[in-house]
């Protein structure tokens, strides 16, 4: 007999995780689960976790404690932890949190229906087996939390770069690329359903490489093929590793106006010796060379980055080099963090976390304050320009304003009574904040 069971998925961490939650929703929809918006009305709550930063893990531990009360009220409620934390901390999750019924790692989502069968009969169940092949390429994600305009397509899984601070190669396993035909079919389907922006996702998208029976596909070709589905489809990609940002990729972007002029290129540090310690496989000079290559062919391209303050062995001179590189680029925006040691990583095993907490905090403060200046400067340069904006909906700040993004991925808020979500519209920028461009609709 078919029953309709209610599933609530709570997602922490990066876009890869949000994309994985859509895959999980799809797998479970085949097993009579439909997603709900409220945890309180669910039969099964899955917490999709991230282990990249300690803060993300701490939020999950706190959330599990909160769920104890919910489970007390409803003893039939089942709770599962999935994703990177499940992979890393299966035993600890079962030992310290009685509310956890199920644990599944990122490559075990196809096994969720049988794990759920097991917990329904009162057992606890886990699968944290990593795979060298799983890409979920045949699973059509359920876009359960979507605006109907922008969607993510996961094109590869895993990572083999082993940056010394990072836990991902241990929680998500070996790098695998998905069959391009399935990616193109998914993109085409989304476009036909009315989506107008697709972000190709992977831990390191620009090392995408697929091969089968003498056929092969690299990332620039894949990107071009997605862009060629329709000129009205915007294409983005994230995240790229500087070592794999080829001239061919930059050229491909320049040849396709609908591949967005926005590249996220995580630098992490401006000092070659820190980059070496991080095992990033490029130098300050190499990174600068890539930025120059982008600027030469894509002069209007926004460049964003990730920066870690206070990695093991970082001196004040290294920190100054990060600041000077930020100015040199200059970045349009950045995600900035203090280094915190992650257990199981190369850095934990090999290095001493020797930058005092107060120094890390001070360096991060300087980095954030510089970035705010750079972001404001970048946005001020846009005043007077006219951008094509893909309208996403009504602005959160005022019901009389609409919001959308330009090709550079900047948020644009503008007054308009005629623009509709999913449409492209021209907006002239009249003012700005460090985070938002403000403008008016032009015909």
Binding site for ligand SF4 (CB under 6 A): 159, 161-163, 166, 168-169, 203-204, 241
As a whole number of Å, the end-to-end CA separation of the chain is 56
Q: To the nearest 10°, the Cα dihedral for 171, 154, 244, 308?
A: -50
**Please, where are the H alpha helices in 30-128?**
54-73, 84-96, 112-120
CB of residue 163 to ligand SF4, shortest distance in Å: 3
Task: Note whether 67 and 42 are within 8 A (CB).
Answer: no
**Complete DSSP assignment for 77-101:** -EEEEEEHHHHHHHHHHHHH-TT--
Residue pointed to by tokens 């106006």: 257
Nearer to ligand SF4, 197 or 218 (CB): 218
Nearer to ligand SF4, 159 or 402 (CB): 159
Q: What are phi and psi of 273, to 5 degrees?
A: -70, -35
**Complete DSSP assignment for 317-372:** HHHHHHHHHHHHTT-SEEEEEE----TTSHHHHH----S-HHHHHHHHHHHHHHHH
CB of residue 259 to ligand SF4, shortest distance in Å: 22
Nearer to ligand SF4, 159 or 235 (CB): 159
Instruction: Number of helices (H) and strands (E) in the chain: give both, helices first.
Output: 13, 21
Count of beta carbons in the 10 Å neighbourhood of residue 160: 13
Task: Note whether 105 and 170 are within 8 A (CB).
Answer: no
Residue pointed to by tokens 């690329």: 177
Nearer to ligand SF4, 177 or 406 (CB): 177
- Does residue 239 have a cis peptide bond before it, meaning omega lies within 30 degrees of 0? yes
Cα–Cα distance, 342 to 53 (Å, whole number): 7
Nearer to ligand SF4, 271 or 408 (CB): 271
Nearer to ligand SF4, 156 or 260 (CB): 156
Nearer to ligand SF4, 13 or 169 (CB): 169
Nearer to ligand SF4, 149 or 263 (CB): 263
Nearer to ligand SF4, 166 or 233 (CB): 166
Cα–Cα distance, 86 to 127 (Å, whole number): 9
CB of residue 249 to ligand SF4, shortest distance in Å: 16
CB of residue 241 to ligand SF4, shortest distance in Å: 5
Cα–Cα distance, 172 to 108 (Å, whole number): 11
Strands, E, within 114-155: which ranges?
Answer: 125-127, 150-154
CB of residue 186 to ligand SF4, shortest distance in Å: 23
CB of residue 156 to ligand SF4, shortest distance in Å: 11
- 417 CB contacts (<8 Å, ≥6 apart)? none
CB of residue 139 to ligand SF4, shortest distance in Å: 22
CB of residue 87 to ligand SF4, shortest distance in Å: 14
**Which element (helix H / strand E) includes 44?**
strand 44-49
Strands 436-442 and 424-432: antiparallel
CB of residue 52 to ligand SF4, shortest distance in Å: 7
CB of residue 206 to ligand SF4, shortest distance in Å: 11
Nearer to ligand SF4, 15 or 258 (CB): 15
Task: Note whether 177 and 210 are within 8 A (CB).
Answer: yes
Nearer to ligand SF4, 80 or 169 (CB): 169
CB of residue 306 to ligand SF4, shortest distance in Å: 8
Strands 125-127 and 176-177: unpaired
């Amino acid at each position: 007999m078919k029953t309709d069971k209610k599933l609530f998925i709570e997602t922490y961490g990066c876009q890869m995780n949000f994309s994985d939650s859509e895959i999980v929703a799809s797998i479970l929809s085949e097993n009579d689960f439909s997603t709900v918006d409220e945890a309180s009305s669910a039969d099964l709550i899955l917490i999709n976790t991230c282990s990249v930063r300690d803060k993300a893990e701490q939020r999950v531990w706190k959330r599990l404690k909160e769920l104890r009360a919910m489970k007390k009220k409803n003893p039939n409620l089942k709770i599962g932890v999935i994703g990177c934390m499940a992979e890393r901390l299966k035993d600890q999750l079962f030992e310290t949190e009685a509310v956890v019924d199920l644990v599944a790692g990122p490559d075990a989502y196809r096994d969720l229906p049988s794990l759920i069968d097991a917990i329904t009969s009162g057992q606890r169940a886990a699968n944290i087996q990593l795979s060298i092949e799983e890409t979920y390429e045949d699973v059509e994600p359920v876009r359960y939390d979507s605006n109907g305009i922008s969607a993510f397509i996961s094109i590869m899984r895993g990572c083999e770069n082993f940056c010394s601070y990072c836990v991902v190669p241990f929680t998500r396993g070996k790098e695998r690329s998905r069959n391009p035909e399935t990616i193109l079919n998914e993109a085409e389907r989304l476009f036909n359903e009315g989506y107008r922006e697709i972000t190709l996702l992977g831990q390191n998208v620009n090392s995408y490489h697929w091969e089968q029976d003498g056929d092969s596909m690299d990332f620039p070709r894949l990107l071009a093929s997605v862009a060629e589905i329709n000129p009205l489809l915007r294409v983005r990609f994230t995240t790229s590793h500087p070592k794999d940002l080829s001239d061919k990729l930059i050229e491909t972007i320049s040849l396709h106006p609908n591949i967005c002029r926005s590249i996220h290129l995580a630098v992490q540090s401006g000092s070659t010796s820190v980059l070496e310690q991080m095992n990033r496989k490029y130098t300050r000079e190499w990174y600068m060379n890539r930025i120059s290559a982008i600027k030469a062919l894509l002069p209007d391209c926004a460049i964003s980055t990730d920066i870690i303050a206070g990695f093991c062995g970082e001196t004040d001179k290294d920190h100054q080099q990060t600041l000077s590189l930020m100015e040199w680029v200059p970045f349009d925006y950045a995600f900035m963090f203090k280094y915190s040691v992650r257990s199981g990583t190369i850095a934990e095993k090999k290095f001493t976390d020797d930058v005092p907490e107060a120094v890390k905090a001070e360096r991060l403060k300087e980095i954030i304050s510089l970035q705010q200046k750079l972001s404001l400067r970048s946005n001020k340069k846009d005043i007077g320009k006219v951008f094509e904006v893909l309208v996403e909906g009504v602005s959160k700040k005022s019901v009389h304003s609409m919001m959308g993004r330009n090709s550079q991925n900047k948020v644009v808020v503008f007054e308009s009574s005629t623009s509709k979500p999913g449409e492209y519209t021209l907006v002239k920028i009249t003012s700005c904040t460090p985070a938002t461009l403000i403008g008016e609709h032009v015909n």
